[in-house]
Structure 1
Amino acid sequence: MPSFEDEASLAFAALPLPRRPDAPRLSHARGELLRRIEIVDQHGERRDIDIPSERPLTVFLDKRELVTLMTLGASPELLVLGYLLNQNLIARVGEVESIDVDWSVEAAAIKTHAGVTGLAEKTARRVVTTGCGQGTVFGDAMAQIDAVRLPSAQAARIDQGTLLRILESMRARDNVHRQAGSVHGCALFSGSDMLVFVEDVGRHNAIDTIAGWMAMHGVSGGDKVFYTTGRLTSEMVMKSAHMGVPIIVSRNGVTAMGHELAVRLGMTLFGRAANRHFLCYSGAERFDAQPQVQEPARALADE
């Protein structure tokens, strides 16, 4: 079985960047990402396999219980920070003083500098989403979506060669899903360079963790591409928009509401994207098609 360090690199990897001066203090909670169990296969043979360790994390914001997230826990502090930002519960990372995760009590304690104005009103309406592990979106997050302003099609673009290199990078990556299954992976790219990669039991958790990483390091989203293995629901599109990322690539498909929201915001969605194949569901004006571009050699060899 891999060491903890090996497990952590499978589920979370990021480019080392300096933290923002106003970034909060984070604990560095460690926990088991994989658990070994015995199974019986179709031949009646017993053997050991690894499965992801799903665990609850109850979030307390200034001592008020907010939500319980079911998570793999690869980087729980960044998950919690990104959740606050994507839910519009805080506007800036500098509002948070510290985030402490204690797995012995399965809790995350967030302390802000001056409290959250209107917290009761912001959290009054909850929407249970289609997210794996069952996600929760507070009604205020969707109400604020029209305030999002993304870069123009001229300022944020992607060409076919870059898209294919992104797909090859994700295909070749060693990860928890390859070893144990049952998780979703998300990544943020600058061009075809991967900046951060996260796996979790729910794709909404993975994107929130990326949002937290971006906030901690002052990384803007306007010229980035977000990749996910999960389907593009309205929640995923909304969170990418909150992060300022106008281009999303998914190995899966898109829901009608996700597509409607992307069109409304001027976002570019690629789905069913694997090897040389993809569909551009919206925002084709950001895409420089190059049909003559060939798939990288390694991917071609696999077909």
Structure 2
Amino acid sequence: MLASSPATVPQRAPVAALPRLTQARAPLTCAVSVVDETGRSRSVNLPAERDLTIYVDKRELVTLMTLGQHPEWLVLGYLRNQRLLPSVHDIESITVDWEVGAASVKTRGGVEAIEERTARRVVTTGCGQGSVFGGLMDEIDQIALPPKARLRQSDLYAMLKAIRERDSVYKSAGSVHGCALFRGAEPLLFVEDVGRHNAVDTIAGWMWLQDPEEMDGADKAFYTTGRLTSEMVIKSAQMGVPVVVSRSGTTQMGRAVAERVGLCAVGRATHQHFLCFTHPQRLLRDVVPPPAVDQTTSR
């Protein structure tokens, strides 16, 4: 009898390595002495804003003002949302050093045409002065959000409740924005920063590090305390997230971009009241809403 040949085990393609990241930490608040309306001195907390200059392959790119809650994720998300690198695997490492206020990014093959792609900068309406490279509407028509993605109204209310009840820098020190990523009513990540654009970039960076099959944006919803500007809508759409909820309102361009890419923009969302500005078909009305209130103003 002839010996049978051993079964051939199929070989999997090697998985590209994720970038090496430092775990730099810095205090999110600092105590200062103030004088109140009665003339008495007391101590209060302030957000610890600091500058972080990003260097890509030793070339200075941009300086961000940030709390530094997750600086490596912030840098990743910034590179992703600026469309400077197509994949997280194109980055070898990110090293953050708070002593010099710098984040050093080492890529595996450089950034194609970086000089030309970063020559034009658009200053956006984000608090803390956000900026994007190139035209704000570049490649917007290439974004395809999942047409059947929906968010239950009951999950929307659960999102707002979870945000109200969580501990935050805002509750202790004020003067910051918060952003969060949800899967239905399940909170996945909550980030605060001095600008909402930094907070959304940090979430985008965290998503980039996850398994792409697990972190597909189709079943996610994004929450922000800030207004929905065109920049915020474009970044959310680039993350593949089809529903964005804001405690504040939206700008005209933010609404126009959301309409164009098929994103459901929900604003003035507090407790059980909200206004849906675009694509209301993405909301599944599974609860009886409370009586409507006048929410015609927006910030």
Q: Please say whether Structure 1 and Structure 2 have the same fold, judged by a TM-score greater than 0.5.
A: yes
Q: Is the 8 A contact 2:180 2:224 kept in 1?
A: yes
Q: Aligned to 1:163, which of 156, 162, 175?
A: 156
Mapped to 2, the partners of 1:140 and 1:195 lie a distance apart of 31
Task: Pick closer, same or farther for the CA change 1:141–1:27 going to 2, 3 Å.
Answer: farther
Shift of 1:144: 1.7
Three-state SS of the structure 1 residue aligned to 2:64 is strand
Counterpart of 2:205 in structure 1 is 212
Shift of 1:290: 3.7
Three-state SS of the structure 2 residue aligned to 1:207 is helix
Counterpart residue type for residue 192 of structure 2:
E
Mapped to 1, the partners of 2:52 and 2:164 lie a distance apart of 30
Structure with larger RCO (C-alpha < 8 A, sep 6+):
1
Counterpart of 1:84 in structure 2 is 79
Mapped to 2, the partners of 1:98 and 1:167 lie a distance apart of 36
Task: Please show how residues 255-266 of structure 1 align to structure 2 within 5 Å.
Answer: 255-266=251-262
Q: Is the 8 A contact 1:88 1:141 kept in 2?
A: no
Task: Pick closer, same or farther for the CA change 1:103–1:188 going to 2, 3 Å.
Answer: same
Counterpart of 1:177 in structure 2 is 170
Q: CA offsets per residue over residues 246-289 of structure 1, 9 Å max, x none?
A: 10000000000000000000100110001011000001011112
Counterpart residue type for residue 258 of structure 2:
A
Mapped to 1, the partners of 2:216 and 2:113 lie a distance apart of 27
Counterpart residue type for residue 196 of structure 2:
R
Counterpart of 2:263 in structure 1 is 267
Mapped to 1, the partners of 2:57 and 2:34 lie a distance apart of 43
Three-state SS of the structure 1 residue aligned to 2:17 is coil
Q: CA offsets per residue over residues 177-220 of structure 1, 9 Å max, x none?
A: 00100000000000100000100000000000000000011322
Q: Aligned to 1:248, which of 240, 244, 251?
A: 244
Q: Is the 8 A contact 1:100 1:108 kept in 2?
A: yes
Q: Aligned to 1:151, which of 146, 150, 153?
A: 146
2:119 matched to 1:106? no
Three-state SS of the structure 2 residue aligned to 1:32 is coil
Shift of 1:142: 3.2
Mapped to 1, the partners of 2:20 and 2:65 lie a distance apart of 23
Task: Pick closer, same or farther for the CA change 1:192–1:43 going to 2, 3 Å.
Answer: same
Shift of 1:222: 1.5
Three-state SS of the structure 2 residue aligned to 1:241 is helix
Counterpart of 1:132 in structure 2 is 127
Counterpart of 1:235 in structure 2 is 231
Q: Is the 8 A contact 1:123 1:140 kept in 2?
A: no
Shift of 1:174: 0.7
The two structures have a TM-score, normalised by structure 1, of 0.88
Query: Radius of gyration: which is bigger?
Result: 2
- The 4+ residue runs of structure 1 with deviation greater than 4 A are none
The two structures have a TM-score, normalised by structure 2, of 0.89
Q: Aligned to 1:68, which of 29, 48, 63?
A: 63
Mapped to 2, the partners of 1:141 and 1:124 lie a distance apart of 14
Task: In structure 2, list runs of 5 or more residues that go unmatched.
Answer: 1-14, 292-299
Mapped to 1, the partners of 2:109 and 2:264 lie a distance apart of 37
Counterpart residue type for residue 18 of structure 2:
A
Counterpart residue type for residue 153 of structure 2:
Q
- Select the structure that is richer in helix: 1
* CA RMSD across the alignment: 1.4
Counterpart residue type for residue 109 of structure 1:
S
Q: Aligned to 2:117, which of 122, 140, 146?
A: 122
2:58 matched to 1:56? no
Q: Is the 8 A contact 2:263 2:278 kept in 1?
A: yes
Three-state SS of the structure 2 residue aligned to 1:197 is strand
Task: In structure 1, list runs of 5 or more residues that go unmatched.
Answer: 1-19, 296-303
Three-state SS of the structure 1 residue aligned to 2:171 is helix
Q: CA offsets per residue over residues 51-93 of structure 1, 9 Å max, x none?
A: 0000000000111100000000000000000000000001110
